Homo-oligomer: A and B are copies of this chain.
């Protein structure tokens, strides 16, 4: 057997992707209740589907041809307008925006553009699984910024200061956050940017869930003084337009960084998918995005969040939770129950799947500070099944602790 590279041995297949793969292949198993995945659960706006149909029908060849590596200029202009509306910051569509295969590719190309071997990247712990090993591929090393349920999963500026060194090349900011749903505090952002100026590092501002917010708006980092030249923002249409399978995201930032991302993107995917680009053009026009989110998506997701919170408080009264201000998830501290059960959360999740048909994700998948926690996605099931799923979890935990007594 010919050998593989050393880097492959240090990478793992995401356990969540395995669950998604199983699910995608076996979607007939309707008896399962899934709080597992991170996908939206509503159809995209009809304008999106209609545009795909129209374009393919009218121009089968033109709708399947190559585009430039950065994608349609027209779409980049609309993204620039969207950021102007949201963050009040001007990005040049020609030089400061590039379309990517989801935020995933934007992050990957950015990491390869930023890090030399042994540079340091600061990430919260727990954090999004998709970062956990990506920085390794660029040769970087992680410094962890722990977040706790007691602090509302807000990172501490003091702790951040203590982990920043001369080797710090980037801090990754994800807000609203996966897996905790917290929106970052404005004073943290200001302090982070001050540090970025002092120590000359990049802020990678992952805005995947930027528009999935329920009670308060997302603070704007891009428009702070000095932000433009050291903040790389990445975005995605997966969550806001409910089209994760179309794999379309983007990066905005200083032109040198976008040039770097383009250079890497030539080798990762060459060019963005043309149909996906056509699909999201109408999403960003004529207020479609704003109406879709305000009148349809956000009220449903918010209601589901509230139903899940109520169910958790009812069926798992000793669980520690922070009401998520955005994104799709509760990050539930189950240490009280796990201790009583003498089990770890991986074990519990396996048993909930096999005994109760409920899919939840072990918190340790998101970093070692997630031990004792479990991630519940609240957007993927309707309200009655959210109640039923949490009830089943509660029943299992109580029957187990009771039967062990």
**Chain A interface (Cβ < 8 Å from any Cβ of B):** 1-2, 4-8, 11-14, 17, 20-22, 24-25, 37, 39, 41-44, 46, 48-49, 52-53, 56-57, 60-61, 63-70, 72-73, 101-102, 104-105, 107-108, 112-116, 119, 130, 133-134, 137-138, 169, 196, 200-202, 229-230, 242-247, 254, 256-257, 259-260, 262-264, 266-276, 279
Contact across chains for B61 and A242 when beta carbons are under 8 A apart:
yes
Contact across chains for A68 and B266 when beta carbons are under 8 A apart:
no
Contact across chains for A266 and B17 when beta carbons are under 8 A apart:
yes
Q: Can you list 17 A-B pairs, Cβ within 8 angstroms, ordered by A?
A: A1-B256, A2-B169, A4-B260, A8-B263, A20-B67, A20-B69, A22-B68, A39-B66, A43-B60, A44-B60, A44-B64, A49-B56, A52-B56, A61-B242, A64-B279, A101-B269, A137-B267
Contacts of A66 in B (CB 8 A): 20, 24, 37, 39, 244-245
Q: Among the listed B259, B264, B270, B274, which residue makes an inter-chain contact with A102, where contact means beta carbons less than 8 Å apart?
A: B270
CB distance from A226 to the nearest CB of B (A): 11
Contact across chains for A270 and B5 when beta carbons are under 8 A apart:
no
Q: Among the listed B63, B245, B263, B273, which residue makes an inter-chain contact with A67, where contact means beta carbons less than 8 Å apart?
A: B245
Question: What residue in chain B is nearest A137 (Cβ atoms)?
Answer: B267
A63, A68, A245 interface centre (most CB from chain B within 10 Å)? A245
Contact across chains for A112 and B138 when beta carbons are under 8 A apart:
no
Contacts of A65 in B (CB 8 A): 24, 39, 244-245
Distance of A120 Cα from B85 Cα, bound (Å): 50
CB-CB under 8 A for A114 and B24, given A17-B266, A65-B245, A137-B267: no
A108, A202, A230, A273 interface centre (most CB from chain B within 10 Å)? A273
Contacts of A105 in B (CB 8 A): 268-269
Contacts of A42 in B (CB 8 A): 61
Contact across chains for A25 and B137 when beta carbons are under 8 A apart:
no
CB distance from A97 to the nearest CB of B (A): 13
Question: What residue in chain B is nearest A257 (Cβ atoms)?
Answer: B4
Known pairs A5-B114, A41-B61, A130-B267 / 11 extra A-B pairs, C-beta < 8 Å: A5-B115, A5-B116, A11-B263, A20-B67, A24-B67, A42-B61, A43-B64, A49-B57, A53-B53, A66-B244, A67-B245
Question: What residue in chain B is nearest A57 (Cβ atoms)?
Answer: B53
A65, A200, A244, A275 interface centre (most CB from chain B within 10 Å)? A65
Contact across chains for A21 and B242 when beta carbons are under 8 A apart:
no
Contact across chains for B246 and A275 when beta carbons are under 8 A apart:
yes
CB distance from A348 to the nearest CB of B (A): 24
Contact across chains for B256 and A271 when beta carbons are under 8 A apart:
no
CB-CB under 8 A for A275 and B68, given A4-B113, A112-B5, A269-B268: no
Distance of A39 Cα from B61 Cα, bound (Å): 11
Contacts of A276 in B (CB 8 A): 273, 275
CB-CB under 8 A for A260 and B8, given A49-B60, A68-B24, A202-B2: yes
Contact across chains for A64 and B242 when beta carbons are under 8 A apart:
yes
Contact across chains for B256 and A68 when beta carbons are under 8 A apart:
no
CB distance from A261 to the nearest CB of B (A): 9
Contacts of A72 in B (CB 8 A): 24
CB-CB under 8 A for A268 and B266, given A21-B69, A113-B4: no
CB distance from A177 to the nearest CB of B (A): 18
A11, A70, A254 interface centre (most CB from chain B within 10 Å)? A11
Distance of A319 Cα from B166 Cα, bound (Å): 58
Contact across chains for B137 and A266 when beta carbons are under 8 A apart:
no
Question: What residue in chain B is nearest A237 (Cβ atoms)?
Answer: B64
